[in-house]
Structure 1
Amino acid sequence: MQRRTAGEHLSAVVPAVGSGRRTENRPDVRPTIDKNETTNHWRTCEICSIQWKSPSEFALHLREKHCTKEGGSFVCRYGTHGICPSLPLEGVSDKDYEFHVARDHVADDGYTNKINPLMAKQTRLTNQAPSIVSDQHKWTVYSSSVNLPAVLNDPRKSRREHDFFTKTWGEGFIENTVIPPSPHLQIITKANFEKYLNKTASKLKCHKVQSSQKQAPRLPAVTDKSQAELQQIPKMFFRGDFALENPETFQAVLPWSQFKSRGVGQSSKLLQEKLSHYLDSVEVELARQISQRSTAFFTAMASHDKLQDNLISTCSAIKDLRERITAVDDVLAKRSLETLGYKISRVNHAKVFNKLKLMATVHQTQPTIQLLLSTSEFVGALDLISTTQEVLTQELSGIQSFRHLGSQLIELEKLIDKMMHEEFVRFASSDLNRPIDDDTGPDEEKLSSIILGLLRQHKFSFLEDYKNESTTSIKTMVKQTVVAAVSEADSIDVEGNLGSLADQMRLLNFTEWLQMFKIVFINLAKLLHRVKMTWIIMYRLIDFAVGKSTSSAGDLVEEESENNAESSQSDAQSDPQKDIAPDADILIAPVEHQRLSSGLKEMLVMLCNYAHDRSLKLLIARGKDGFLEKLSSSEFVSLSRSIESFVTQCETVCGKRSSSLRGGLQNQANKFVNRFHEERKTKMSLLLDNERWKQAEVPASFQDLLSAMAKGEISLALLARMDQGNEECKAAEYVEIDGNKYAVVGTVLMLLKMVAEYCQCVEDIPSVTLDILTRLIEILQNFNSRSCQLVLGAGALQLVGLKTITTKNLGLASRCLQLISFYIPIVKQFFAERLLPRQMTVLRSFDKILKDYNDHVQEISNKLIAIMDDTFNHCLSKWEVKAPVPSLTFREICKRIRKIHEAVVDILPPEQIKDLFIQMNNSFKTHLNKQLIILNVTNDGGPKHGLVTSELVFYTECVQLTSGLDKLDNMNDIWVRR
């Protein structure tokens, strides 16, 4: 593009619409209506066949009739079958729809400029150089926004009538950034000139004032006449978007309606004269303005010519410098550069040779991988794949012969992942399902190859796979053991029995079933030991993968066998960062190591719990028909000890306590205790209902048992002896404990035997101590309350047909209660030694029972005294003081006393008999005192006093002879004091 002169720039500002001359001499002003009629498409709607006067009306018609709004988008329907070929079917925004109509359907430049001038400018610059496709990443002179010659000669810049600079040099002139950034220029902003502007601000202000004062007289004032003439010109001619191609502008300049009304010839002449007048006024004003600024114009032209001369001299100097540099280059630099070039060429040839050698090595990658896979070297194969991919990416990038090798290696890596997974599952299955008596450890080399390969690929699902295989093996092993036990049992017809395996197992007797249960425990322990050996190898490999230095698998096995579960767990929870070798090959991160270690520990605990669950199912299946509840204490103890042994072995393997199998055993133990208690409770109830409250003989086995219990010892041999019976030893009449004799009934002996059985059950099954204690308390309470109902409440009269409750029955019941009360503190001490500290509060129940028993004994004693009190009251109420002496009344009283003594003398101890008769004597004196008061007999020495004294002598001798009392209390208190 050629530079314009200053005159050309100025002349381009004024539209060439007329200059006061005739129209035929100015062909530029002819309208181009015919051209618009052939190029604009807004005249007629092709679908509705309606003609329009302006593009805006046509655009409004398209919006109302040939546009649909779907959601917030506008879809154009102006086209065949209601589809616009130049707009997306999903629609556009309102603004984009206006651009689309102006560009594709209206096709009018004036309307396009009106809608979006920037879009019109971009449309005109679409095909201009430089190309934005090829030059978008390249900096050229066109990228500069502050290079004045580049801006003036940039063909892409369009005219805009904003101000002088943007109109002449384009919109990009005002930009102050370089886009794209130039590698040679730094970005200059206004901040770079702040210091200079502040320094020169005062001088510039003074210069402007002086210039304005000097130039002000030179500028002639605009005359009022020229100003009035310029104001008569329509403002439309001064607009920046003035163009006769626009129909509205053309209609305003050439009003055809005036031509039709006045005549074409006359109207055109008047219009031409008016336009010529406008042109003359503008030219006159322009000439006046140019004449006023001629000095500045010629000064600028002179400066421009001087600048061109300086540029010519500069170019000559540059040409001379280049010629001298070329001569120096030929003489001094060319040969040296050729030597350097040869050296660089040699280096390049060596690089090519090395690259070819590397390509040959990479070419052998796939055969090498196949060879490694054939020997199960998964880690080596994966390392080779990783190294090859790294070489392809960094050193052999872009080589066409290897363009498919990368994808092939990726697929091969996926295949190796699948092979390792299948190989691990196959290895785990074969290792777990080999014969249970095979004590050899797993193939450590093969397992290490598989595990390290999986860890390198960060495939951690092998823990879940091994867990599934282990649970399947445990389940299968338990089932096979049960099948073998059922098939070997002689008492079961396997062929004729069509029931399930559980039904067949229930047909085994306890001995066969317990033997089968023990075999299941043995096999499970061996299988868990096998799992633990594999677990140790896995744990060592995980430590190795994170870089920790560990010992061999054999050393770890020995260490695990020597250490307890607690120490092994503390080792498993150690810090992954500890003991990391500096030159170790890290395959997994410390976080992944921690997660895998936790997963391994959880897996081992889970497998032990699963073994407990499978064993618990056998226990529940066998106890479904109440079989386990009917076991004897010894049988249940054998079962309990077998389970406890297996649970201890599992705790040694996993280091944690499992509660499922213990819980199942506890549940069965509770059922056993319930059945155990209900049987003895029912038995005790039947014994009490049939008890005639007569003294029973005491077998020697009972005597031995009670003697041992008195010392706090309970022996299984004694209980077995009692169950078998011993006819060789003669039975005794009394139970002798610590030199005291106890006359008892048979029910009390059975009760004390039951107490011994309860205590022995606690010895055998410590987990049910609390339950046994509560039930023992219950049976002791039941005996006390039931015996009270039968003896004191006379319930035995109806149940066993007794005629009356005799004094001997009462004394026997009292002595039985005293014997039981003797053993209650001993039993309490027995349970106190076996209860936990938090359970000691239950022992208070023994104190309450002992108090109840003592109160019951006291009630029986009161009952005996009450019987004699009624006798004394009945006899003395009819007594009279008269001869003969002793009277019949006193004879009857002494007879009754002798009978009571005969009833209790062989049952109660002398101390209790003495206390009993002392209380009876007190009751006698009370009633005698009342009767003497009634009879008005006093100790006045008279005849009646003598008769009463003789009666008392007879009574005293009888009581002392009967009860064994040395002397009675003073009998003088029977007399009323005067």
Structure 2
Amino acid sequence: MKLAAPHTQLELIQTGTSPAKSLPYSLISDIAGGGPNAISTLLQHPIVRTGLQAHQAVVSSGYKTPTPRDIPPVALTNIPHVDAKAFHPYLAQPDFHLENPRTFDIVSEQAELVREPKSSTATAANANVAARKSLATNAILQEKLSWYMDTVEVHLIASISTASKSFFSALGSLRELHGDAADAIARIQKLRTSLAKLDQDMAIDGLKVVNLKRRRHNVRKLAEAIIQLDDLVALVRQCDSMVALGHMDAALDDLDRAERLMAGSVDAGRTLPYRARDLRSLHALQGAQADLNTLRHRIGRGFEARFHASLLDDIRSHVSRTETSATLQRWGDAFKRAKPGQRRAPSVFPAYVDISPALRSDLDAELRGLTRAGYSTQAATAFRALVLREMKSLIRKRLPSSTDDDNVSTVSTSTAGVARQSQQEKSSVLARNLRALDPDDWFHMLADIYANTSEALRRLSAQAEMQQALDLSSLLGEGVDLVQNQLTKVVRVRAQQNAEFALPDFLRYFTLNRLFADECEAISGRSGFGLKTALDGQIKDFVAKYADLVRRQLMNRLDADKWDAKDFGPAEMARLDRVKQGGVADSPDWTASNTSVWQPAADANGNNAAANGGNAAATSTNAATNGTANGTTNGTANGTTNGTANGTANGTAHANGAKDKVRPAVIDENRFILPDSGAAILSAVESLQHLAAGIPSMSSEIAILLVDTLKLFNSRSSQLILGAGATRSAGLKNITTKHLALSSQALAFTLALVPYFENVRRRITEHQAALYEKLIDIMAGRAAMHVRSMKAIDWDAAPALKRDAGASPYMETLVKETTTLQKVLAKHLPDNVVMAVMGPVFTSYRQLWERAFVEVDLHSGQAKERMLDDVRFLRDRISKLDGAGDLGDHLLHWSL
């Protein structure tokens, strides 16, 4: 128990303040636990002090309850002022607790409350301990404690008397509040009763009415939703029937209306007898969207079929109405080089760009339908496959039969046997039938395939430009690749047969393929590697075989020559004029057969069949008539023994044996009386020149073959005349001075022809120059690319890590490429050629980088220093190369 300090309480009493809040009630009850003067006795009601409570008293008839008047007055003596110093200091400590035994011992001054009986053991043990006083006999301590307790009681009495007035006032207010609360409770109870009656009479009945109205509204909404659902089902059925009938536009309109109706949307300008609601959340319509998507897919397929049919029918009709000759002529006009001073004919719009308004309208409607149906991508993908299949079909239907059941085959097979043929067997039969075609049939078949596929691809390109909604950018490239891959297989089958063609036939075949390759490159922007590779191989085989044929025919004519003077008639003069003209330009007779491929072979070559002795067929035919061992055509008609020949063009002689005049060959002012060997070497030279004019890409190889042919003529004529080989091959008895003279004339004639071989030399020189120009263009293009890279650099930004000598990557690459080119050229070419190539390269560098350095804007000294580092790197590396000159110093000065 904790007591307040006595001096503090006395101060409060003297100052008149109330410490009631600082003294707990338990302190009072603990101190005044017993005795008539205890604090608890003073705090009790006066009635309690005079006797028992009314509810505790025993009821008796003669007992009278005491009243306050029965209590005698008590006079309280004044407590004298006590100084605070009189109290012990521990009584004022905040941690004062009387229940603590140590504290109690200090307060009681080590007094004994109850004295224990003495014993000998205790007496002996406590002999050294001072004897404690008994509290009962310690009157001074009792007086101190009583004084302290009286002081506390007085303080409590003063505090209670001060607070009693407000306490009883609060108690009265509490009673009033209690009465008001009871009245409020009664009113609330009455109000609840009234509200319960009102709820029963009005609210419940009204709520029933409201619920009935709500139910009627819900039923109306349900009925409208059912009507809306019925309309939706009707629209879907109508849409399905329209799809079945092929009316895709109406079906798509109905489908869009159905989707809008299911979403609760109404078309503008249309009224419904009900309010449309969103039905997509209905459980019954969970699968409806999938059904609508299926319908949309079917509609998209329908539009796709119409779209594909429109495009493919247009391609097929265009191919069918376009003649092969017209297509070939268009190719020739498009890729034919105009001669100097010659104006090309004004170009006209080709037929493949002419799109009819009806087709435009159909395609526009179909594309709109595909877009609305969300089927554009699928339609474009499927159209790619259909176009590629159509390209294969155009090729396949022009090929000969792939079965043995045809007019060409000599083996009869049944239909069941044909059906059982494997794909490998069909391919083998097709290859055999392709090899069996004669040159004219082969050319026409190939021309038809090339023309049809070209017109189909051209028409496809016009369609792709017209319909930009679909991405068909790569379709043309795929179509060209497919066509060339298929045709490569066809062309390779006849590799051997094509190498054995006559010269005019092969040149027409070569020109046809060249024009087709150019056409494919113009359509797709890329050249076919496979087809060109196959054709290059066939060209090389033909050139080798044809040159061998020309040499064999020359040998045959030399061996059969009687070394008599031969008349140099109009045919030989025309051949000589063509050879001489070939030094300046290609003869029209040489180019007519391979430029006008759209004309029939008879029209292109018929007029020049006699003049063009260079073709293999004519030469092969004349080999027997002009070079026979018995010399029947070169000998005289009457069998004279002078050994001279009449050499007339028609091979006849006068009946009287008179000899016709022998016409010489004339070159410039020189005249040459030639034997048949002179005409033979002229024919061989023209044949090879004709071949070089027809296939310019093989000019260098043909020039070598021509030199070999001249060497062969020289060596063989030497063997025949100087070595007397003509006595065995032509049956001459001996070699006379006439033979020697005519052989000398043939050699002189050949030497006179050599300057006119400038055409071959010109072609070779042009070929070399083209190669050099190609190298120069490549390096100029690379330099231009590096210039663009240099302009794209942010020179004012912090420089990236440089790999070598402080140069930027673009400059390192340029120097490396230039150095590599110079090393390769120096290893394989003479020094003068290297200088001829590297000089223009460095000149192009000078021009490009001068403009580049001027066009670049540098905003700081750091940026300019970075650029100067690159230029110094170029100067240090390029200056070591031959032909660079002062390029590095010039560019460095220019960049400063």
Q: State the TM-score bracket (shorter-chain normalisation).
A: 0.3 to 0.5
| TM-score for both structures, normalised by structure 2 | 0.42
Task: Give the alignment's TM-score, normalised by structure 1.
Answer: 0.38
Greater RCO, 1 or 2 (C-alpha within 8 Å, sep 6+): 2
